Amino acid sequence: MQIPKQVLQQFGGVGLDSVVGELRRHGWTRFNTAEFEMWEFLPFLGKLLNHTQVSVVEGSKSLVTSARGLSPHTDHHRARYILWNCDVQQESGGETILVDGLAVFSSMSQADKTNLRNIRLMEHSMFDGDEASHPMVFDLGGDEALYYSYWLCDESISPILRESFNRFHAAVKSVQPIFIRLETGESLLIDNNRMLHGRVPLEQNSPRILQRYWFG
Ligand SMILES: [Fe+2]
């Protein structure tokens, strides 16, 4: 995607800087969608890897397009950042849930951390070079990062690793999550290698429509 030169010179403007700064400090930020164009984020967030419309599709077997609530998790490990633009929100409810997964990981015992670093979770192949599984805790430029699609934990992992995994899962559930109800026209941007996201159950015929973008 080509970015016009005159636009590149505007980077460093307070608006975008403060959004990206907040993202880096807290792992997430929200803002008015109309304030920014998608491509403005590219120099900060990397390539646009994927775009998916998230809405309830009647009878859907896919979790994303069902009305079911989703426990905190990460998306694909290569999606460093996830941006959701809220096109339509339900009249009430429809909250997104956020938990700082790396903070939970840091709170675990040394033994659990060591075990969690040895767990690989299955991963759907989406990009060239994807393997069938990926480490739950991995190195990202010298920092630890999380991949936590918890329902893809291989049944055959050792009991010791499973115990640590279950303790991490319980710890995530015990944290008071951040509830964010995006209004129509609002966006939420998160660091997907740090923050876990989920949602409360939606209305069966929910009109909620989010545009989801993966950057990495
Ligand atoms: Fe997700």
Residue 96 domain-assigned?
Answer: no
Q: How far is the CA of 195 from the centre of ligand 1 (A)?
A: 11
Q: How far is the CA of 16 from the centre of ligand 1 (A)?
A: 24
**Most confident listed range (21-25, 53-57, 78-82):** 78-82
Per-residue pLDDT for 41 more than 90? no
Residue recorded with tokens 């009305």: 67
Residue recorded with tokens 């008015």: 32
CATH number for position 26: 3.60.130.10
Residues 6+ apart with CB under 8 A from 23: 29, 81, 189, 190, 191
pLDDT of 154 reads 81
Span 97-155, pLDDT tens digits: 999 999 999 999 999 999 999 999 999 999 999 999 999 999 999 999 999 998 888 88
Report long-range pairs for 9-15 (Cβ below 8 Å, ≥24 apart): 11/40, 11/43
Strands annotated E in 89-201? 96-100, 120-122, 133-135, 137-140, 143-146, 178-180, 186-191, 195-199
- List residues bridging with 153 in a β-sheet: 121
Q: Is the dihedral of CA 51, 210, 102, 158 positive or negative?
A: negative
Residue 93 domain-assigned?
Answer: no
- Rounded CA-CA distance 86/202 in Å is 14
> Which residue range(s) make up the domain with 163?
20-53+69-82+101-199
Q: How far is the CA of 213 from the centre of ligand 1 (A)?
A: 11
133 burial via Cβ count (<10 Å: 0-12, 13-18, 19+)? middle
- Rounded CA-CA distance 182/126 in Å is 28
Q: Crossing angle of helices 110-117/159-174, nearest 10°?
A: 110
For residue 66, give both structure tokens. 């069902």
Residue 6 domain-assigned?
Answer: no
Residue 205 domain-assigned?
Answer: no
Per-residue pLDDT for 8 more than 60? no
Residue 161 domain-assigned?
Answer: yes
How many domains are contained in the chain? 1
Q: How far is the CA of 197 from the centre of ligand 1 (A)?
A: 6
Residue 123 domain-assigned?
Answer: yes
Residue 59 domain-assigned?
Answer: no
Residue 34 domain-assigned?
Answer: yes
Q: How far is the CA of 6 from the centre of ligand 1 (A)?
A: 35
Q: How far is the CA of 24 from the centre of ligand 1 (A)?
A: 20
